[in-house]
Chains A and B, each alone.
Chain A
């Protein structure tokens, strides 16, 4: 299955206007400075925000088409979406959180073993660390057997060491997943480490030169230069 999208959305300071596609078993990393429209794009794929114009097509299914007035609800898209935080329901323990929408609740145990959080299954989200919460959030998304996995800066609230560990776990997990994965980050290292394809997005538009400008430390201008500081910092680690 391939997810193909062509999206237009008017935002307050700029317009989002991108086209891309991502095939099964492939991870596309969307990278760019913060506030550049990446989350808006992901939300449009999930069906949480409607584009002004464009199409989202998954395999043979049309999820969104402005011309034909089609907009499939997020419930029916059957995808996994891991946010930076706020995936877990505070009133449920980790096990119930991961099993919340599981196709087969028995699979959750295996996922917990894989992500090494089995011993925390009875803990509530506020009683575990940020890294453990994000592990559980990924289990929650995977237990639903998603047809598309969206990860929106899932590790950026974590400390560097935890982040690197999870990044590696995700990379090794990637091979066993058969769905397309779209990963959002503003960290160039993370992008280079994980990506099969990279889609740089600056102010809502695809900007293929952004990565190179940022890495080679060309004196940039405006927001590109501002956003570039974050990845540069991360090159230290």
Chain B
């Protein structure tokens, strides 16, 4: 069995989840609590990766990450290396691909908090930042956990966008879904079956976790 591909998949999903939690929290906060011109445009932009075919996202990521694209160019002049076909490259792709799944449950959890609690925190002397850390985050843990699980599951399932940006370099960009695809291409159904089977308990366990979190947040 291609343990290396499974390892890359889990590493990618974990890194994506951790980074996205940090990036998505302020975006979700902004969308949940503030009204500003262009808010609906920003919100649609954040959710756009959910509505686009992964190959379309992959295509535009290739454009910006290639040595001629602005991100790829900046990266190359900084480090001398390329972003395409690297783990960092597919991490960026995975983050963009999953951002809606992080922002949406967090925004829902933040919006559910009673505004009077926040006002009480302000009266008690807490800045907006301190209120976010001491009141909003601790009272949204279920939503944040749901976001983390969704992002993790969505990342282990990514295929098209990663194939376009990362190709299939063993140990670097070859994730399990790509390994399955390649095994089937070469008629190696046994290898494909082994990797495919390993997904079922992982995904099933995480879905149970999501259901549990949803139940908890309802009570």
- Mark A65-89 against chain B: 1 for CB-CB distance below 8 A, else 0: 0000000011101111101001101
How distant is the Cα of A73 from the Cα of B126 in the complex, in angstroms? Answer: 11
Q: Between A and B, how many residue pairs show CB distances below 8 Å?
A: 45
A46 in contact with B123 (CB, 8 Å): yes
- Beta-carbon contacts of B105-123 to A below 8 Å, as 1s and 0s? 0000000001011011111
Chain A contacts for B116, CB-based, 8 A: 83, 86
Question: Binding site of B, secondary structure by majority: helix, strand, loop or mixed?
Answer: helix
CA distance A80 to B123 in the complex (A): 7
Contact B120 A144 (CB under 8 A): no
B43 to chain A, nearest CB (A): 27
Task: Offer 21 A-B interface pairs, CB within 8 angstroms, sorted by A.
Answer: A47-B123, A48-B122, A74-B119, A74-B122, A74-B123, A75-B122, A75-B125, A78-B125, A80-B123, A81-B120, A83-B120, A86-B117, A87-B120, A89-B117, A89-B120, A89-B139, A100-B124, A101-B124, A101-B126, A140-B124, A144-B125
A144 to B121, CA, bound (A): 12
B138 within 8 A of A: yes
Does B135 make an interface contact (CB < 8 A)? Answer: yes
Q: Place the interface of chain B in its size category.
A: 10 to 19
A12 at the interface (CB under 8 A from B): no
Nearest A residue (CB) for B114: A86
* Chain A residue at minimum C-beta to C-beta distance from B120: A87
Instruction: Find chain B residues with CB under 8 A from A119 CB.
Output: none
Say yes or no for A91: interface residue by CB 8 A criterion.
Answer: yes
How many A residues are at the interface, by size bracket? 20 to 34
Quick one: which of B76-125 are within 8 Å of A by CB?
Answer: 114, 116-117, 119-125
Complex CA–CA separation, A40 to B92 (angstroms): 48
Assembly CA distance A39 to B143 (angstroms): 32
List CB contacts (< 8 Å) of A56-115 with chain B: 73-75, 77-81, 83, 86-87, 89-92, 100-101
> Chain A residues near B126 (CB, 8 Å)?
75, 101
Q: Mark B130-171, 1 if CB is under 8 A from A, else 0.
A: 000001001100000000000000000000000000000000
User: Using Cβ atoms and an 8 Å threshold, which residues of chain B touch A80?
Assistant: 123
Q: Which of A83, A87, A101 contacts B125 (CB 8 A)?
A: A101
A75, B139: Cβ atoms closer than 8 Å: no
**B190 contacts the other chain (CB 8 A):** no
